Structure 1
Amino acid sequence: MGEVIVVTSGKGGVGKTTTTANIGTGFALQGKKVVLVDADIGLRNLDVVMGLENRIVYDLVDVVEGNCRLKQALIRDKRYESLYLLPAAQTRDKNAVNPEQMKELCNELAQDFDFVIIDCPAGIEQGFKNAIAGASQAIIVTTPEVSAVRDADRIIGLLESEGKHNPKLIINRIRPNMVKKGDMMDINDIIEILAI
């Protein structure tokens, strides 16, 4: 059974989608079978980052609603034989799927893939709850800005309340020269604030 990992942050624009694509591609290059799940219903972008936007026929909501089989909605990346995408619905709201449905979907995907990596939407509402439901591990992406770190701290608390402990941390967009001048938060300060 494969590992289910959610990439989250709370804040938009910190690099969750790019991180999801990069981690998935990295695992695929190591010969692992990987599926990337875009859980950002209504605002999907993972398909664009992956260059697969013109190949979408079915999406995550179609699968959950029974309009297609899971295998019909999966898009194989032609560049990497073992990398797949399950795109989010573009025209629906986040309430089109519930956490229990996401958990079932992740369990089904974990039967066929080494890694299921979920791109979580920004915020802490229904989309976040859906994205974390089936995950056993979490990667938190933040940037060295006070608002992003504060949101990451809130996400850590929410993950722990859902029984998802020991998340991994990616601090994106560090500029060493700005840190040196005191214009940007230091990595060690961020780690201390987040206590992970």
Structure 2
Amino acid sequence: MSRIIVVTSGKGGVGKTTCTANLGMALAQRGHKVAVVDADFGLRNLDLLLGLENRIVYTAVEVLAGECRLEQALVRDKRQPNLVLLPAAQNRTKDSVSPEQMKKLVNALTKVFSYILISSKSEFIFIVL
């Protein structure tokens, strides 16, 4: 059974993304299969903290639009094979992905990963997963 952890706060700049990156890496180093999801649409930076910014081809928005498969959007870390990143689109607003669409993405990830860690925008509201 997968564990879904959403790292959120009502305020920006408090370390949500840093916490998500570090927790994801620690779990992966312990042998767990981990997907980290950047849900800060328009202002993503989880890719930067993980050193994966130059490896992004597709994002969650393209997956939802049917432009690619989920597997194609997952960015694998060559240094840590147990960790993948699902990046947010850099040029979209927080309204680009609805809570129902986020639920669909997360449910697909639970079929493969032990932990799904979501770094959310401060005002992003999730429905119960």
Taking structure 1 as the reference length, the TM-score comes to 0.64
1:87 paired to 2:87: yes
Cα offsets for 1:140-190 (capped at 9, x unmatched): xxxxxxxxxxxxxxxxxxxxxxxxxxxxxxxxxxxxxxxxxxxxxxxxxxx
Q: What letter is aligned with 2:83?
A: L
How many corresponding residue pairs?
129
Cα offsets for 1:109-162 (capped at 9, x unmatched): 01100000000112x2xxx11xx3365xxxxxxxxxxxxxxxxxxxxxxxxxxx
2: distance between equivalents of 1:80 and 1:15?
A: 22
2: distance between equivalents of 1:22 and 1:90?
A: 22
1:65 paired to 2:59: no
Q: Where in structure 1 are there 5+ consecutive unaligned residues?
A: 136-196
Q: Following TM superposition, where does structure 1 have runs of at least 4 consecutive aligned residues deviating by more than 4 angstroms?
A: none
Q: Where in structure 2 are there 5+ consecutive unaligned residues?
A: none
1:18 paired to 2:18: yes
Matched residue, 1:33: 33
Is the Cα–Cα contact under 8 Å of residues 63 and 69 in structure 1 kept in the other structure? yes
Matched residue, 2:108: 108
Residue 10 of structure 1: how far off its partner (Å): 1.1
- Report the 3-state secondary structure (helix = DSSP H, G, I; strand = E; otherwise coil) of the residue aligned with 2:80: coil
What RMSD over aligned residues (CA atoms) do the two structures have, in Å? 1.0
- Write 1 or 2 for the structure with the bigger share of strand: 2
1: distance between equivalents of 2:121 and 2:43?
A: 8
Matched residue, 2:118: 118
Kindly name which structure, 1 or 2, has the bigger radius of gyration based on alpha carbons.
1
Residue 4 of structure 1: how far off its partner (Å): 1.0
Taking structure 2 as the reference length, the TM-score comes to 0.96
Cα offsets for 1:1-48 (capped at 9, x unmatched): 311110001111111100000000010011000000000000000000
Residue 101 of structure 1: how far off its partner (Å): 0.7
Is the Cα–Cα contact under 8 Å of residues 107 and 134 in structure 1 kept in the other structure? no
2: distance between equivalents of 1:112 and 1:78?
A: 18
- Report the 3-state secondary structure (helix = DSSP H, G, I; strand = E; otherwise coil) of the residue aligned with 1:112: coil
